[in-house]
Structure 1
Amino acid sequence: MTALTLSTSAVSGLRADAIVVGVAKGTDGPVVAPGAEAVDKAYDGKLAGVLETLGASGAEGEVTKLPAPSGFKAPVVVAVGLGAVPEKDGSFDADALRRAAGSAARALVGAKKAAFALPVADAADAGVIGEGALLGAYVFDAYKENGGKDAAKKGKAPLGEAVLLGGKPRDKAYKAALERAVTVSEELNRARDLINTPPNDLNPPAFAAIAQTVAKEHGLKVQVLDEKALAKGGYGGILGVGSGSATPPRLVKLSYTSSKAKKHLAFVGKGITYDSGGISLKPAGHNETMKCDMSGAAAVFAAVVAAARLGLEVNVTAYLALAENMPSGSAARPGDVLRMYSGKTVEVLNTDAEGRLVLADALWMASEEKPDAIVDVATLTGAMMLALGSRTFGIMANDDAFRTAVHEAAEEVGEPAWPMPLPEHLRKGMDSATADIANMGERMGGGLVAGLFLREFVGEGISWAHLDIAGPAFNEQAPFGYTPKGGTGSAVRTLVRLAELTAAGDLG
């Protein structure tokens, strides 16, 4: 993991591989951003002109490298685009700073040390810049021939150290902002590692074992229900989905408690470690990335550990519903009826609509503790990707005010999200002549239908929100900002922010 430090050293005398400065997009060309004054002065005030000559415009995510001025101990200056010059108070949007730091860090992977001279107006700015640098420097190379420790020799290791300039190293607010950035980034990157791990190495028992190890390290209480305990308890959804696999399912409960807590949050994550679609097999071209179908479980796992590490004054319980959805002679069939943990029966019309089945059992288990709110996270439907694209997750809820609060938390931390409805007329499509409910309904509005299904398994009087992260959970395109190719850790920061707001009494 990249080290993160604050420094008040003069940028010219700092020994580093590169100095990162910001450049904004002005009406008449690039504009040097605050923080880069010393570098600009060393270029006789002509840094913007030099960058424009090199083709830079200040557009968001744009990275331009040029030799450092004479007398600087760092050999390279990296100018990163911040987007348009702010129109109001001159302050850059927090996520613009986070994305810029991430873009620069990606361009400097393999460097031992880089100094970030980006705009820092306060401790919050230092925190988001640090977070962007740590997330942007992420590399998953465990399965490469020269991965791991050998990667450093090949120049492929993550950035060794990110030094933030313009802050106040002894100020408590700055220290706290950096500590938070490190904690959240490390846990989000843990989620990314899990998502990127091949399914032959990360099956339900393996995921459960990792959860137990991490829980012990951070003082969390952990309970793992194996296939025998699931059968004894009547968890028909998880058992039904996992019945076709040679690897049995697991339901993991991780609990963080604070002696000062006044509220209790429950996070529920879909953990399909590989999704073939089961008997309703996915078509060719749709299987290759299905190791990411446990992204929801990875997100809630990372969030509860982060809450513990931050010492938040709120109780947080995470439920990881882990199964592998495979076709075999023992697999659940279309037409089967499963009796869920709640006692409700479900007719399985499509075995590729499996995520809602494992979540249903975990949601009811979470409801039994009567938390103040439940948030589930899942790569649930392709329909949500069709509706919102590959970078935005949908938010559904049984409480409009809570849905708004979740949406605002997501926006605050820079995670694109959008509130979605739960139209009552779509519920009728899931009526079954055989069981209490079917796991499929109308094809149009499929993401909303899935949300309506999940609502059936939330305890009465509990505020609940459902995050469908099918789009942003796994980036199949080129990296951008602080987002790598592969697992992204989507929703981790939103969940952590919800926990912080709840601890502070700012979430209704």
Structure 2
Amino acid sequence: MDFELKTLAPAAATKFKCDLLAVLVPEGVAGQDNVLGALATRAIAAGDLEGKPGKQLQLYAPAGVAARRVLLAPCGDGSPAAMRKAVQALGPALKDAGVRQAAVLFMAEPAAGAVDAALRAAADALYVYAATKSQVELPALRKLTFGVPKADAVRGEFDAARAVARGVEFAREWANRPANHATPTLLGEAAKSLAKLGPVRCTVRGPAEVAKLGMGAFMAVAQGSAEPLRFIELRYDGAGKTQAPIVLVGKGITFDTGGISLKPAPEMDEMKFDMGGAASVLGVFRALAELRPAVNVVGLIPACENMPDGRALKPGDVVTSMSGQTIEVLNTDAEGRLVLCDALTYAARFKPAAIIDIATLTGACVIALGGVRSGLFSTDDALASDIHDAGAAALDPCWRMPLDDDYAEGLKSNFADVANVAGRPAGAVTAAKFLQRFVGDTPWAHLDIAGSAWKGGAAKGATGRPVPLLTRYLLAQAAAARPQAAAKAVRKASRATR
């Protein structure tokens, strides 16, 4: 889907020829001296159009309007959250087979973040999974125009939103694919494809190379599967070599049976989504390739299956991680932390400014936060605050959870340095405490996206979260670094003239 931004005032929009003109009607529309404003005012006064975001009124070929259909869509106070709800509700109309050309019109100057929210909501609504279907109805719509009073005023926001939408789509697409169409090998190929889009480099390592690195915990999880593991490394160098990178680590379990600690059969098919963290890292790099911010980013994805083969890891086995720490595996279904711990150790070689891991890690986080917010754990208050603020701004929220040392008591083992589980109480927290052992003093954050990475039931499918949160965070870091770089350049120039 292509998106276009156009300067289009309400009066001019009446002459815009298209199959569907969706008009975002703000509070206080009364008094607008144009055909569309008058239509909305009369509909509201007659009680035919409620003012709540998500409500709609469709009109066919109204007098004075070139569009074949007009859809009046209230957007409340015009806030990003209200705008998202209003545009999400446009999905069925935009996907109608008779709609080949469409436009979404902002009747007033959009609030900060409103264009971003509207574009991404439209992209989400228009996404259709087709990779493994022999027959699928794709929307006839190929380009969606967003009309605003002054396009130049929101051009930067629009371009960023479009890039993030493409990153979200990339993440959703790979998370949605069945495990036999998204093996570790195929995930590596998806990562390599990103290197063709811009300044992204990719290295994919196989079992022999991972063995040389000493990633014993990662290899132990993979040993029960016929599919060979892959360790994917992505590099985006948008800033100078002296700037420490931010490392993103995504859990890439392409299918999780639970291993010998086998999961129940109902809904096990959804364990194809257990690589949601990996998919989000791929999505972020898809956005970076287009946005090209002045920041250095490394993406690490340990990818494998967790299967109950005769060679599979057994409860009670002790494995040695890349860090040298030994781990007693009390539950083979707690495998995500085993692949992540080696990737976290590997991340230290980049001397990063921060490490953020993203993982569909625990059912306990789903119980705690549901599907609304991702769980955020961090050893650094400033990092946690930046991530939280980025999530709020991107409408991709998270919530900070505790990391008290007392939670680690349950991870003690009589037979190894640490156990991989600590029982049911506070399971999301104890999982984070396990990962914390492998990050040293580097500022670190862990996002548990088990509740936010996908939806079940009739709406089953990946969400692409937290691509918006992570991209917004990286863009903010790039923006914060610009004044520092400028000040450094001034000091250098001043010294040179002395």
Common fold, TM-score beyond 0.5? Answer: yes
Partner-residue secondary structure (3-state), 2:185: helix
Equivalent of 1:46 in 38, 42, 46: 42
The code of the aligned residue for 1:266 comes to V
Q: CA deviation at 1:266?
A: 0.5
In structure 1, the partner of 2:377 is 396
- 1:193-204 superposed matches below 5 A: 193-204=173-184
Equivalent of 1:65 in 42, 58, 62: 58
In structure 2, the partner of 1:112 is 100
Relative to structure 1, the CA distance from residue 167 to residue 143 in structure 2 (aligned partners, 3 Å threshold; closer, same or farther) is farther
Partner-residue secondary structure (3-state), 2:358: strand
Relative to structure 1, the CA distance from residue 243 to residue 34 in structure 2 (aligned partners, 3 Å threshold; closer, same or farther) is farther
In structure 1, the partner of 2:71 is 78
- 1:7-406 superposed matches below 5 A: 7-8=7-8, 10-23=12-25, 32=29, 38-42=35-39, 45-50=41-46, 52-53=47-48, 56-82=49-75, 85-86=76-77, 92-110=78-96, 111-118=99-106, 119-121=108-110, 124-147=113-136, 151=137, 156-157=138-139, 159-169=141-151, 171=152, 173-260=153-240, 262-406=243-387
Relative to structure 1, the CA distance from residue 158 to residue 18 in structure 2 (aligned partners, 3 Å threshold; closer, same or farther) is same
Please state if 1:425 is matched with 2:406: yes
Q: Could you give the per-residue CA deviations for residues 12-32 of structure 1, whole angstroms, max 9, x where no partner exists? A: 2111111112346x8xxxx65
Relative to structure 1, the CA distance from residue 341 to residue 418 in structure 2 (aligned partners, 3 Å threshold; closer, same or farther) is same
The code of the aligned residue for 1:5 comes to L
Partner-residue secondary structure (3-state), 1:200: helix
**Contact 1:279–1:334 (CA under 8 A) maintained in structure 2:** yes
Q: Could you give the per-residue CA deviations for residues 196-220 of structure 1, whole angstroms, max 9, x where no partner exists? A: 1111111001100111122233231
In structure 2, the partner of 1:89 is none
Q: Partners of 2:260 and 2:88 in 1: how far apart?
A: 42
Relative to structure 1, the CA distance from residue 128 to residue 5 in structure 2 (aligned partners, 3 Å threshold; closer, same or farther) is same
**Contact 1:117–1:166 (CA under 8 A) maintained in structure 2:** yes
In structure 2, the partner of 1:495 is 470
Q: Could you give the per-residue CA deviations for residues 236-291 of structure 1, whole angstroms, max 9, x where no partner exists? A: 12211111111011110100112447342100000111111111110121302111
Q: Could you give the per-residue CA deviations for residues 322-379 of structure 1, whole angstroms, max 9, x where no partner exists? A: 0111111011110111111111111111111011111111111112211000111111
Relative to structure 1, the CA distance from residue 125 to residue 468 in structure 2 (aligned partners, 3 Å threshold; closer, same or farther) is same
Q: CA deviation at 1:77?
A: 2.0
In structure 1, the partner of 2:494 is none
The code of the aligned residue for 2:121 comes to G
* TM-score calculated relative to the size of structure 1: 0.88
Q: Could you give the per-residue CA deviations for residues 84-132 of structure 1, whole angstroms, max 9, x where no partner exists? A: x44xxxxx22232233223314431142122212343367433432232
In structure 2, the partner of 1:505 is 480
Partner-residue secondary structure (3-state), 1:290: helix
Partner-residue secondary structure (3-state), 2:224: coil
Relative to structure 1, the CA distance from residue 105 to residue 212 in structure 2 (aligned partners, 3 Å threshold; closer, same or farther) is same
In structure 1, the partner of 2:424 is 443
**Contact 1:2–1:159 (CA under 8 A) maintained in structure 2:** no
Relative to structure 1, the CA distance from residue 206 to residue 253 in structure 2 (aligned partners, 3 Å threshold; closer, same or farther) is same
Q: Could you give the per-residue CA deviations for residues 447-467 of structure 1, whole angstroms, max 9, x where no partner exists? A: 001100110111x32110000
Relative to structure 1, the CA distance from residue 161 to residue 36 in structure 2 (aligned partners, 3 Å threshold; closer, same or farther) is farther
**Contact 1:2–1:134 (CA under 8 A) maintained in structure 2:** no
**Contact 1:277–1:351 (CA under 8 A) maintained in structure 2:** yes
Q: Partners of 2:119 and 2:86 in 1: how far apart?
A: 11
Q: CA deviation at 1:427?
A: 0.3
Q: Partners of 2:409 and 2:38 in 1: how far apart?
A: 68
Relative to structure 1, the CA distance from residue 38 to residue 135 in structure 2 (aligned partners, 3 Å threshold; closer, same or farther) is farther
The code of the aligned residue for 2:100 comes to K
**Contact 2:176–2:462 (CA under 8 A) maintained in structure 1:** yes
Q: CA deviation at 1:33?
A: 8.6
The code of the aligned residue for 1:207 comes to L
Q: Partners of 1:437 and 1:158 in 2: how far apart?
A: 55
Once superposed, what is the RMSD of the aligned Cα atoms? 2.3
Greater helix share, 1 or 2?
2
**Contact 2:366–2:450 (CA under 8 A) maintained in structure 1:** yes
Relative to structure 1, the CA distance from residue 398 to residue 80 in structure 2 (aligned partners, 3 Å threshold; closer, same or farther) is same
* TM-score calculated relative to the size of structure 2: 0.90
Equivalent of 1:457 in 424, 430, 438: 438
Q: Partners of 2:17 and 2:229 in 1: how far apart?
A: 51
**Contact 1:394–1:467 (CA under 8 A) maintained in structure 2:** yes
Q: Partners of 1:180 and 1:248 in 2: how far apart?
A: 36
More deviation in 69-78 or 222-231?
A: 69-78
Unaligned ranges ≥5, structure 2: 485-498
Paired residues, number? 477
Unaligned ranges ≥5, structure 1: 87-91, 480-484
More deviation in 231-240 or 373-382?
A: 231-240
Relative to structure 1, the CA distance from residue 280 to residue 63 in structure 2 (aligned partners, 3 Å threshold; closer, same or farther) is farther
Q: CA deviation at 1:420?
A: 0.5
Partner-residue secondary structure (3-state), 2:361: coil
Partner-residue secondary structure (3-state), 2:179: coil
Q: Partners of 2:423 and 2:245 in 1: how far apart?
A: 35
Q: Partners of 1:332 and 1:36 in 2: how far apart?
A: 71
Q: Could you give the per-residue CA deviations for residues 52-103 of structure 1, whole angstroms, max 9, x where no partner exists? A: 33xx533333344332422322122223343xx44xxxxx222322332233
Relative to structure 1, the CA distance from residue 36 to residue 371 in structure 2 (aligned partners, 3 Å threshold; closer, same or farther) is farther
> Identity of aligned pairs, percent?
36
The code of the aligned residue for 1:40 comes to G
Q: Partners of 1:343 and 1:369 in 2: how far apart?
A: 19
The code of the aligned residue for 2:114 comes to D
Q: CA deviation at 1:158?
A: 6.2
